Amino acid sequence: MTVVAPKLTLERRLLRECDVLIALDEVGRGALAGPVAVGAVAIDLPRARKRVPEGLRDSKLVPPGRRGAVAERARAWVSTSAVGWASAQEIDSIGIMRALGIAATRAITELDVIDPAAAVILLDGNYDYVSPVSSQPLQIRPVIRADRDCASAAAASVIAKVARDALMTSLHDEAPQYNWAHNKGYASPTHRDAIAEHGLSRHHRHSWAIAAAPTLF
């Protein structure tokens, strides 16, 4: 199957309305353990006129061994980038959608953008989870499959994926029975078997129906 590279068609159109475009994409929404991460990148029109970085795709379409290099090229291409986080405890406390919004606002705050309210924010998906938790009005444009079709969202996706995978790998030694270095907190058979044997760690999302979670690996 041929994977079509993301383009900058939408970004160039949106940048007629503003000086800066921010693209957001989440990673870890469906995991059983670990935080949710939202990648954020900012681009301006000069960068939107450049060639898309080599190998850039939605993170799910980039082979794991190549993601680090692709993320490095993505970071070099955009004006600035950041990853915002919401912990498993926050997910348990406020729910996954609000936690996504909190992670997104944290990422936006870390961007070196003078006024996010003046930017157009391209959000992968069909639901605006950012506005309900934002302290200021933002121009959110949800776009289904933006991480596949829009280069800026693909950049946010792969940057967030690399960061979250690194975090989950770093947590592996704390609780090696869950094999997070391999499954990154998602519902692999060995992960669920370990939960059945050892129970939940402090990094698991205790509010989730983990016993009924689908197998993803």
Single out the residue of 43, 6, 38 nearest to residue 21, CA to CA. 43
Q: Name residues whose C-beta falls within 8 Å of residue 214's C-beta, 6 or more positions apart in sequence.
A: 187
Predicted pLDDT at 156: 98
Predicted pLDDT at 115: 87
Predicted pLDDT at 77: 97
CB-side exposure of 118: number of CA atoms within 13 Å?
Answer: 7
Which domains, ranges and CATH numbers included, belong to the chain? 9-169 (3.30.420.10)
pTM beyond 0.85, yes or no:
yes
What parts of the chain have a pLDDT lower than 70?
1-3, 209, 211-217
Residue pointed to by tokens 């370990």: 194
DSSP per-residue codes, 21-33: EEEEEEE-TT-SB
d(CA 156, CA 83): 8
Predicted pLDDT at 215: 56
Predicted pLDDT at 214: 56
Predicted pLDDT at 210: 74
At 47, the amino acid letter reads: R
Predicted pLDDT at 147: 96
Predicted pLDDT at 4: 78
* Whether 157 contacts 164, CB under 8 Å: no
* Whether 104 contacts 127, CB under 8 Å: no
